Amino acid sequence: MSTKSTSSDKNKAILLVCDGLGDRPSIDGKTPLQAAFTPNLDGLSVSGINGLMDVIAPGIVPGSDTAHMSLFGYDPYKYYPGRGVFEALGADMELHKGDVAFRANFSTVDETMRVIDRRAGRKGSKELAEVLNGLEIDGVKILLKNTTQHRCAVVMEGEQFSRYVSDVDTHEAGDFVQECKPLQDDEAARKTAAIVNKFVKKSYELLNEHPVNAERREKGELPANIILLRGAGSYEGVPTIKERFGFTAACVAGASLYKGVAKYTGMKILPVAGATGKGDTNLRNKAEAALHALTEHDLVFVHVKDTDNHGHDGDFEAKKAIIERVDEELVARLKDADAYIAVTGDHSTPVTLKRHCSDPVPLVIKGDGVRTDGVKNFDEIAVASGGLNRIRGVDLMPILADYMGYYIMYGT
């Protein structure tokens, strides 16, 4: 029998996730985290408990979406609904049980349906989005929202659909638009694929000659003349963090994917001025937002995207620089909050690989009563000898919950 705590001795916590934080030794045999000047992060390690974390499992390369599900305590092998769901939620669209959602791009195709630019010159259009939003295909209502630049989220409303359909997006310019195909042999997948194909065709018919695109062509810009869908997800819903652990949670993030995962698990999404999920993101505002959120919520998740971007770019110095900014502008402010603080990554994105990899991420937890372990530096190598040893991402939230006093007991 499993019981939850009823004690009134509750604590708050901050979970700071630097996307793609983990790295490998390269310049001077150091990782960016080792090379960076990070007195505040190192201070957390000195007074905290440290270790390595396989966010999904050893040797498994996490996606950002599955990684965050793990970090929030949801085994992605059990709970992952498919990427599109998070994109739609992150775009603040309403989803209902059974709805199928997609990531989508405004793209540019020629008249043979060959893709000229998957991102239509990285430019979207609210006006073109309005042309497509609310279309009915075979009696099914399709909702579309233009989020940032060329990016969109698409939702197919209803209960008879399947996420098991292939992408229309070619993933490479020069290829022809793909036909959406059912990936399971059932009516739901066949029906979903058929509607997707009609919607894509319809998007070209409605967009190609639209005045907005005529204007773009006149200016020498690429027309946004088709919508290409990918990453189908099916909204099923999960028990919220509050239901599972007993505490409330809030999200301070710029990029919509992370807001989407947070929303899926029942976190409150907080607006933060200047949090862009990019290099110009205002980390000081994030720190203040997080501290303010702690007054109303038990756990605050803070996400920094740019560490990952520089990993993908293979830019050691830029990754080192953003880590130093995180240390100075974010950690320095958060470290003395009256709360547990955990700092980690969602996966490694080594600058030498320019992609996610399965190397475990460093983790430090500081707060009342943690078993301080003698680790002096917060980096991938030093934390390996810490008191947490090597845990899995899905274990982090139960561990934090116990520190916070919202423990789950099994047995008596």
* Chain contacts with a second copy (rule: CB under 8 A): 1, 7, 24-26, 29, 31, 52, 56-67, 76-77, 80, 82-83, 231, 350, 352-353, 355-359, 369-374, 380-381, 384-392, 395-402, 407-412
- Is the CB of 173 or the CB of 353 nearer to a second copy? 353
Give 219: exposed, middle or buried? Use CB within 10 Å, 0-12, 13-18, 19+. exposed
Q: Closest separation between CB of residue 3 and a second copy, Å?
A: 9
- Is the CB of 124 or the CB of 386 nearer to a second copy? 386
- Is the CB of 34 or the CB of 107 nearer to a second copy? 34
Q: Closest separation between CB of residue 368 and a second copy, Å?
A: 8
Q: Closest separation between CB of residue 359 and a second copy, Å?
A: 7
Q: Closest separation between CB of residue 406 and a second copy, Å?
A: 11
Q: Closest separation between CB of residue 284 and a second copy, Å?
A: 31
Q: Count CB atoms within 10 A of the CB of residue 239.
A: 12
Distance in angstroms (rounded) separating the CA atoms of residues 216 and 405: 57
- Is the CB of 53 or the CB of 334 nearer to a second copy? 53
Q: Count CB atoms within 10 A of the CB of residue 172.
A: 8
Q: Which of 35, 37, 15 is nearest to 24 (CA)?
A: 35
- Tell me if residue 168 falls in helix, strand or coil: coil
Q: Closest separation between CB of residue 75 and a second copy, Å?
A: 11
Half-sphere exposure of 359 (CA within 13 A, CB side): 21
Q: Closest separation between CB of residue 153 and a second copy, Å?
A: 14
- Is the CB of 6 or the CB of 112 nearer to a second copy? 6
Q: Cβ(252)–Cβ(235) under 8 Å?
A: no
- Is the CB of 63 or the CB of 254 nearer to a second copy? 63
Question: From residue 337, how far is each of 37, 194, 251, 301, 382 by CA, in Å?
Answer: 22, 53, 17, 14, 25
Q: Which of 52, 73, 76 is nearest to 64 (CA)?
A: 76
- Is the CB of 202 or the CB of 390 nearer to a second copy? 390
Q: What are the tokens at 172?
A: 């490479």
- Is the CB of 7 or the CB of 112 nearer to a second copy? 7
Distance in angstroms (rounded) separating the CA atoms of residues 82 and 337: 35
- Is the CB of 145 or the CB of 347 nearer to a second copy? 347
Q: What are the tokens at 56?
A: 């999904």
Collect all residues with Cβ–Cβ distance below 8 Å to 268 and sequence separation of at least 6: 248, 249, 250, 251, 297
Q: Which of 15, 42, 43, 5 is nearest to 377 (CA)?
A: 42
- The residue behind tokens 């460093």 is 362
Q: Which of 211, 90, 198, 58 is nearest to 140 (CA)?
A: 198
Q: Closest separation between CB of residue 138 and a second copy, Å?
A: 26
Q: Closest separation between CB of residue 325 and a second copy, Å?
A: 24
